């Protein structure tokens, strides 16, 4: 770990805990900073804060008092989920106090180079693929960020021989300053998180920060099939490495004569790839580019692609029962994600969908429902999704109480050769604490069928 002397004797406020806040506070304390932690959860219900208190760190819990910003802090380390319109953040900005996220702190203490992945969709799959490819290629990767261990925990134990593979959200990227990945990947850009960013332009600006400090010694891997991504890439000083599923590329990653290629080199035949879906082919191409640039050999990359069937809750193959294949795509918390999931299958689909009602309709889903032979709905949006199903001409539409009851109902309306797909197109919070819990309930219900 590089010792960041810049934090010694510096007065720092860590705002918001969760795993990243705990890690940031502990690290800053070890670097000699005078750390104060502020978290909304009361101390009696906050074991993380209690642990920091035992380390001698000042802890203020139960509320976010704006007057705290009058105590002369020289830096704020913000939980990514706290929006910039929060009164505490506004007070810090008014006093011109620098605000960073924990990822920036991790970069400043890391001896290892970063392979950083962002985008609207596909981040988790791409990050996992790159990690698996580098691990198979004996490149000693460490995985961090939203998908793995907290970045600053990983960074403290990383050496020059490692590569930190990290998934980054726009929320995290808004709080970087010096962050400079050796390789950056932008999978795609769609409209998302406008409630946080305020506009599509601001969202794109946040994503662009992944390459803000890169130079000609670095690489930016970008989706050549999206004009908005390529427009962003024009601003980068890094070497641009494109990938495309629609056209052949000589210098990037693409498909030629049925083969995944990188810089003209054949990696694997598309028919030998285990992970289904055109959208996953985008993820695969970007991962291949990152892995090859990091030095993984093509045999290791091909072996991963022959065996990798997806990350948990993202188009995850669960089981086959009496000829029906069950897939868990609980992470599909919006319409676009469900559209992509449906496009991955040529077989008839029994779709399980529904969840939190955010006020939107599901008309955009209708063109993607052509392969759906039966629709099983649940949750707050059940009626709205049923309307979309009826408009798409689906004859069999059944409403149930929850995911657990949806699985046996889906089986009753399926035949051998069908796909039974949980892809809710909605967040889980009306019935389940997280999409992971929802997906786990689906998996458990599938295994009960056996």
CB within 8 Å of 224: residues ≥ 6 apart: 230, 242, 243, 244, 247, 249, 252
Instruction: For residue 124, say whether it is annotated as part of any ligand binding site.
Output: yes
DSSP-derived letter for residue 363 is: G
DSSP conformation letters of 6-49? GGTT-EEEEE--HHHHHHHHHHHHHTT-EEEEEESS-GGG-HHH
Secondary element (H or E) of residue 255 = strand 253-256
Cα-trace Rg, the chain: 23
Contacts of 91 (CB under 8 A, 6+ apart): 66, 69
Residue 359 marked as a ligand binder: no
Strand partners for 243: 223, 253
Q: Would the annotation count 120 as a binding residue?
A: yes
C-beta of residue 398 within 8 angstroms of C-beta of residue 375: yes
d(CA 446, CA 167): 30
Question: Cα(274)–Cα(88) distance, rounded to whole angstroms?
Answer: 48
Is residue 121 a known part of a binding site?
yes
For 288, the token pair is 């291949």
**What single-letter DSSP state applies at residue 70?**
G
Alpha helix (H) residue ranges in 223-372: 227-233, 278-294, 298-307, 335-342
Q: Encoding tokens for residue 151?
A: 């970045």
Q: 122 labelled as ligand-binding?
A: yes
Q: Please tell me the distance from the alpha carbon of residue 434 to that of residue 436, in angstroms, as a whole number.
A: 5
- Angle at the Cα of 223 from the Cα atoms of 115 and 194, rounded to 5 degrees: 85
Instruction: Give dist(CA 63, CA 58) in Å, integer.
Output: 15
**The pair of three-digit structure tokens given for residue 115, joined into one six-digit string:** 């392979």
Give the residue among 127, 115, 221, 207 at the shortest CA–CA distance from 158. 115
Which structure tokens are listed for 220? 């930016």
Tokens of 241: 């490495």
Residues at the annotated binding site? Answer: 119-125
Residues at the annotated binding site for ATP? Answer: 119-125
């Amino acid at each position: 770990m590089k010792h960041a002397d810049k934090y010694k004797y510096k007065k720092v406020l860590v705002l918001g805990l969760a795993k990243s806040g705990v890690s940031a506070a502990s690290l800053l304390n070890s670097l000699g900073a005078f750390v104060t932690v502020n978290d909304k959860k009361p101390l009696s219900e906050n074991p993380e804060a209690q642990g920091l208190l035992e380390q001698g760190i000042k802890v203020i819990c139960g509320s976010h008092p704006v007057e705290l910003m009058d105590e002369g802090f020289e830096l704020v380390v913000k939980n990514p989920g706290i929006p910039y319109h929060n009164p505490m953040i506004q007070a810090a900005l008014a006093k011109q106090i620098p605000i960073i996220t924990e990822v920036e702190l991790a970069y400043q203490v890391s001896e290892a180079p970063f392979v950083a992945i962002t985008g609207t969709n596909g981040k988790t799959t791409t990050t996992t693929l790159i990690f698996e490819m580098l691990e198979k290629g004996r490149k000693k990767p460490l995985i961090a960020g939203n998908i793995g261990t907290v970045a600053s925990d990983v960074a403290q134990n990383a050496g020059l021989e490692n590569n930190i593979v990290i998934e980054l959200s726009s929320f995290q990227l808004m709080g970087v300053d010096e962050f400079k990945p050796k390789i950056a990947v932008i999978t795609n850009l769609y409209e998302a998180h406008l409630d946080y960013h305020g506009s599509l332009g601001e969202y794109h600006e946040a994503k662009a920060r992944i390459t803000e400090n890169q130079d000609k010694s670095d690489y930016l891997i970008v989706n050549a099939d999206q004009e908005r991504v390529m427009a962003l890439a024009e601003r980068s000083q890094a070497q641009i490495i494109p990938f495309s599923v629609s056209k052949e590329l000589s210098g990037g990653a693409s498909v030629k004569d049925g083969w995944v290629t990188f810089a003209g080199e054949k990696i694997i035949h598309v028919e030998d790839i285990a992970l289904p879906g055109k959208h996953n082919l985008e993820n695969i191409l970007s991962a291949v580019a990152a892995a090859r640039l990091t030095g993984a050999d093509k045999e290791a990359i091909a072996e991963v692609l022959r065996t990798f069937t997806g990350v948990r809750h993202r188009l995850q193959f669960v089981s086959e029962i009496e000829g029906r294949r069950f897939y868990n795509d609980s992470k599909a918390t919006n319409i676009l994600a469900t559209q992509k999931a449906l496009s991955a299958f040529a077989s008839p689909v029994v779709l399980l969908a529904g969840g939190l009602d955010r006020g939107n309709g599901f008309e955009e889903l209708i063109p993607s429902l052509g392969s759906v032979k039966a629709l099983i709905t649940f949750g707050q949006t059940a009626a709205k999704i049923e309307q979309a199903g009826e408009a798409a001409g689906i004859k069999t539409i059944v409403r149930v109480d929850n995911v657990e009851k949806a699985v046996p109902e889906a089986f009753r309306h399926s035949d051998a050769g069908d796909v039974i797909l949980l892809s809710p197109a909605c967040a889980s919070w009306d019935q389940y604490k997280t999409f992971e819990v929802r997906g786990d309930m689906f998996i458990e219900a599938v295994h009960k069928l056996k």
